[in-house]
Structure 1
Amino acid sequence: MNENLDQLKDLDVNMYIISKDTPEQQRELYDALAREYGKSLPFISDPDLKMVERFDMKNGDVAYRGYGLLDEKGNVIFHTVNDHWGEQFDQTVKEIKDEYHSLSQ
């Protein structure tokens, strides 16, 4: 995913990675991704999966992979379970952009 972030740069949104990892674990991964790709999205630690649950993406004690959008007030605008971040990233980018652009219509 990190090697393809430029495909999402035209969206006027703040992007984050949410995981239940500790901030220390996230810092380690953030630093590794930044070294490997020259950048990384910032992480949000959600150890109790409260934010994940808000997106309706909780799968037992883990989160489904996917994406979603919150408005300025913290309301979920959309969410999508999607585990195609690698081999089908182009399709994922298209889906994200279609969802995003449908909001302005």
Structure 2
Amino acid sequence: MHKNLDKLNDLDVSMYIISGDTPEQQLELYKALEVNYGQSLPFVSDPELKMIELFKMKNGDVANRGYGILDEEGNVVFNTINDNWGEQLDKTVKEIKEELENMHKG
């Protein structure tokens, strides 16, 4: 039984995967996510790792895995590096929800 990205559906946010991979590699990952999670997310291509650097997830010439939140003005308000975000989906969703609540309180 695979995990399900539906846990993210009730978040009132636009979600994307930012990737420095080639389009062919992104397609492979997109398909793998569909197989493992029942769906995937849209990809934003970032071959120069500029968005990834903005999220402080650049590691030399590659990107660390993780997740983050941009506010409506495009400022990074939260980020975390976690190679296992998918395997720890319940923890990931909980952390994102808490950060979104903190944004709305402030």
TM range (shorter): 0.7 to 0.9
Stretches of structure 2 that go unaligned for 5 or more consecutive residues are none
TM-score relative to the length of structure 2:
0.82
Aligned to 1:54: 54
Alpha-carbon distance between aligned partners in 1 of 2:82 and 2:37, rounded to the nearest angstrom: 22
**Secondary structure of 1:27's partner?**
helix
Runs of 4+ off more than 4 Å: 35-38
CA separation of 1:36 and 1:94: change in aligned 2, threshold 3 A = closer
Aligned length: 104
- Counterpart of 1:80, as a letter, is T
Q: How does 1:1-105 map to 2 (within 5 A)?
A: 3-34=3-34, 37-105=37-105
Q: TM-score, normalised by structure 1?
A: 0.82
CA distance in 2, matches of 1:88, 1:37: 12
On the 8 A contact 1:18/1:45 being kept in 2, the answer is yes
The 1:83–1:32 alpha-carbon spacing in structure 2 relative to 1, beyond 3 Å, is closer
Once the two structures are aligned, what percentage of the paired residues are identical?
68
Separation in 2, partners of 1:89, 1:77: 20
How far did residue 37 of structure 1 move?
4.6
